[in-house]
Amino acid sequence: MKVIVDADACPVKDIIIEEAVHVSVPVTLVSSLSHYSTQDLPEHVKAVYVEAGPDAADFKIVQLAKVDDIIVTQDYGLASLLLPKGCTVIHHKGFEYNDENIDHLLETRYMGSMIRKGGGRTKGPKPFSKEDRSAFSTLFRQKIGLDKKK
Q: State the angle between helix axes of 13-20 and 130-144 in degrees (0 to 180), rounded to the nearest 10.
A: 30
- Structural domains of the chain, count: 1
Alpha helices in the chain (DSSP H): 13-20, 56-64, 76-82, 102-117, 130-144
Give domain status of residue 66, yes or no. Answer: yes
- Under 8 Å between Cβ of 76 and 105: yes
User: What is the structure's pLDDT at 129?
Assistant: 96
Which residues share a beta bridge with 47? 29
3-46: pLDDT as tens digits = 999 999 899 999 999 999 999 999 999 999 988 888 899 999 99
* Mean pLDDT, residues 72-83 taken together: 95
Tell whether 149 is covered by a domain: no
Residue 105 pLDDT more than 90?
Answer: no
Mean of all residue pLDDT scores within the chain: 92
Side chain identity at residue 49, one-letter code? Y
Q: Is residue 69 part of a domain?
A: yes
Domain coverage including residue 29: 3-144
Residue 44 counted as domain residue: yes
Instruction: Supply the pLDDT for residue 54.
Output: 82
Indicate the pairing of strand 3-6 with strand 70-72: parallel
**Position with higher pLDDT, 110 vs 51:** 51
* Nearest alpha carbon to residue 72 among 138, 150, 11: 11
Strands of the sheet with 88-90, listed across from one edge: 45-50, 27-32, 3-6, 70-72, 88-90, 96-97
Domain containing 114 — which CATH number? 3.40.50
